Amino acid sequence: MSVIPFDDRDGFIWYDGALIPWRDAKIHVLSHALHYASCVFEGERVYNGNVFKLTEHSQRLIDSGKLLGFDIPWSLEEIDAATRETVKANNITDGYVRPVAWRGSEMMGVAAQATKIHLAVATWTWPSYFSPEARMKGIRLRISDWKRPAPDTAPTKSKAAGLYMICTMSKHQAEKEGYDDALMLDYRGQIAEATGANIFLVIDGEIHTPTPDCFLDGITRRTVIDLAKKRGLKVVERAIMPEELAKAQEVFLTGTAAEVTPVSEIGPYRFTPSDISRMLIEDYDVLVRGPVAVA
């Protein structure tokens, strides 16, 4: 299987105020972000040419930058407009969007008050890979050896690049052992999230999900909670210990990439994706893509 590297593609990337050819979007090897992780980003999906919940994502990007101590020098409205411009320029109908903001190369050291803040927006085609039927098979998760950090040890409410180092390590280990992803516990040993998605447990008809006090309260997470409540389902946000997985009949993940993805296995625990997972998959698909036309 050939892989097209992300630095050698056709198209345009919005970079510091203007669209430029994709291959020209470069940074210097001594950029502060590369050495000290002073970088924040977003992951967004395009459905039928529209970015789902664009303004919420743009606002979170701004907020993440502030948590890392820098202001992105473009307004919320300008970031929204740049994203739409990039999607249009690349003729994206169904795809993924990656806005990213970072400290530049003016200073090299832990302190970098005088660095320039850069902003780029890239987008590429990313159709839905799985039908609801295929997703209902569920994915397999390994329990990670790494834990999400405490909120007084890292800016856990930001979508910061540095926070994903242990996610990459966890997912690589899971894949090496034949799993699809990893479940991460938090610093207290409670269930937190997968490496890039939030987690929900269905226990006796109720939906339980960890309180996001040391990891991202995902935009897709909040969307699915609203969909569940509209269905009259009870949603409980609380601390959840890993041994409670034994009580769950269904488990599913939510995220920009994951959308709603059922889980069939986490370590020694097994689940059977069923009615609630299917219902929320279908409701989410209708929300983001529109109802399926019936001939």
Distance, in Å, from the CA atom of 182 to the CA atom of 172, rounded to the nearest integer, reads: 9
Q: Give the CA radius of gyration of the chain.
A: 20
> Distance between CA 12 and CA 9 in Å, rounded?
9
For 135, left (φ over 0), alpha (ψ -120 to 50), or beta? alpha
Instruction: Give the residue from 29, 57, 22, 27 showing the smallest Cα distance to 43.
Output: 57
In 3D space, the residue among 206, 193, 219 whose CA is nearest the CA of residue 250 turns out to be 206
Which residues does the annotation mark as catalytic?
159
Composition of the chain by helix, strand, coil, percent to 5 = 30, 30, 40
The half-sphere exposure of 226 on its side-chain side, counting CA atoms within 13 A, is 8
> DSSP letters of 24-63?
G----TT-HHHHH--EEE--EEEETTEETTHHHHHHHHHH
The closest of 171, 149, 137 to 271, measured between CA atoms, is 137
Q: Is the dihedral of CA 284, 287, 289, 293 positive or negative?
A: positive
> Residue 189: helix, strand or coil by DSSP?
coil
Residue 226's identity, in one-letter code, is D
